[in-house]
Copies of this chain bind each other. A is one copy, B any other.
C-alpha cells in the first residue's frame, strides 16, 4: 500500500471535464448522439488538433512518434525521472459513444489543468498520451499503435495496413500530418494509469463509483469440431446413434460450468454453432462451435484449457464421437502492477468513493502498455454496461470521481518515483 497522502488537497473540476468531453464529442457527432471518428480521418485530425491546442494552453510540450501517438508533457521537479503517464484514444467505432477513449484522454487533461490551478509541482513529469487507432475499425487489428509501442507489432507492418478502400495507415497518417519522427516505443514510461468507462455491467450492479482494475483478462479462443454419423432420425435406434449435436451440447454445458468453476473472474462462452446437415429429421453428423475463455490469471486460463480438453475428450469418447479442439487465438492475461493498482485503490479510499476491485473484460491500450511499464486502470460505470454504441452513457459525477482518483494516484506515483526512477 502507498502510505503517503500526497495530493490530498487537489480537487479536479468535474464541470470543466464534462464540458471538454461534450466539446470533443461535437467532432464526428452523429444524429443519434454518438460519435463516428474513425482513426486517421479528418475528424480524428480535428480532435487531435483540439487536444493539442488544449494541452499547449495548459503549458504542455508535445511529442509525436512515427505512428502518430501523441505525448503531452507537464514537467516535474526532476525532469530526468520517468514520466507518470495517463491517456487513451480519441478514435471511435463507426457508431461509437462520447466516452470510450475520449474520457481517458480528457481526464488526463483535467489532471494537468488541476495541477496547474493548484500550482502543484510533481516530482516526476506527468504525461497524457493519445494512442493511434485503438478501435481497429478502419485499420485492423485493434490497439495497433499501443501494441507497436509494446513491441507486439512491427512499425513497418503497422504502416502497411490498409483500410477497406486500400489506403495505407502510413498514407492516412501523413495526410493528417500526425506522423512524427521518433521511433515508436522509444519513450520510457515510469507508470501508466488509464481511466475508462467499464463497458460492462458490474459497477452499476454493485453500486460502486470506481473500479480498481487489477488486470486485463487473458483470452483463449477455440474452434471445436465434433463428428458423428449422419443418419435418419426415424429408424435409427437411440443406442446405435453417434449424434454430433448431443455431444456438442454436453461440451457447451461443460464450457459454461468451467466458467463457474474458475471464479472469480473467469468467463466462458460458446457464441457460435454450426450444425450439419441441419435437417429436422436427420441425426447431426458434424457440429462446429467456438469457445471464448477469459481469465485474468494466466495459470488459471491454462487450467481452463486443460479441463476443456479433458472434458471434451471424455464426452466424445463416451458417445463414440470424433473431436478436434483447435486453439485459434491466445492473448495472455495482463495482470497490472501492484504499485499502480495499490495507488489507485489507496486514492479511491482516500477520496471516499465506493469502489471495488475489477478485471477488465475488454481490450485496452493499457493491456499492451502493461508489457513495458507498470500499469493500472480506473473504471467508472456506464449505463447498462453498454458501449460501442451511440447510446453509450455515463454520469457526470462518476466521470468526475474517476478523474479525482486519477489525479491522486498519479501524484502518489509521481512523488514516489520521481526521485528514484531516473531515466
Binding site for B on A (CB under 8 A): 198-202, 205, 217, 219, 221, 231-240, 243, 245-246, 248-250, 252-253, 256, 259-260, 263, 266-273, 275, 278-284, 290, 292, 294, 360-363, 385
Report copies per complex: 2
Is there an interface contact between A236 and B385, defined as CB atoms closer than 8 Å? yes
28 contacts between A and B (CB under 8 A): A198-B235, A199-B232, A200-B236, A202-B235, A202-B240, A221-B280, A232-B362, A234-B267, A235-B360, A236-B385, A237-B267, A238-B256, A238-B267, A243-B269, A245-B271, A245-B273, A246-B253, A246-B256, A246-B270, A249-B253, A269-B281, A271-B281, A271-B282, A271-B283, A271-B284, A272-B275, A280-B290, A281-B292
A269 to B, closest residue via Cβ: B233
Among B198, B199, B267, B280, the residue within 8 A (CB) of A233 is B267
Q: In the complex, what's the smallest C-beta–C-beta distance from A62 to chain B, in angstroms?
A: 33
- Known contacts: A232-B200, A234-B294, A234-B362. The answer to whether A278 contacts B267 by CB under 8 A is no
Residues of B near A266 (CB, < 8 A) are: 238
Are A294 and B362 CB-contacts (below 8 A) given A246-B253, A253-B250, A273-B273?
Answer: no
Nearest first, the 6 A-B pairs at minimum CB distance are A200-B235, A235-B361, A234-B361, A233-B269, A249-B249, A249-B252
CB distance from A350 to the nearest CB of B (A): 27
Using A232-B361, A250-B253, A269-B282 as known contacts, list a sample of 15 further A-B pairs with CB atoms less than 8 Å apart, ordered by residue number in A: A200-B234, A201-B235, A201-B237, A202-B240, A205-B240, A221-B280, A233-B267, A233-B271, A233-B292, A238-B263, A248-B249, A249-B249, A271-B275, A271-B278, A272-B275
Q: Which chain B residue shows the least CB distance to A281?
A: B292
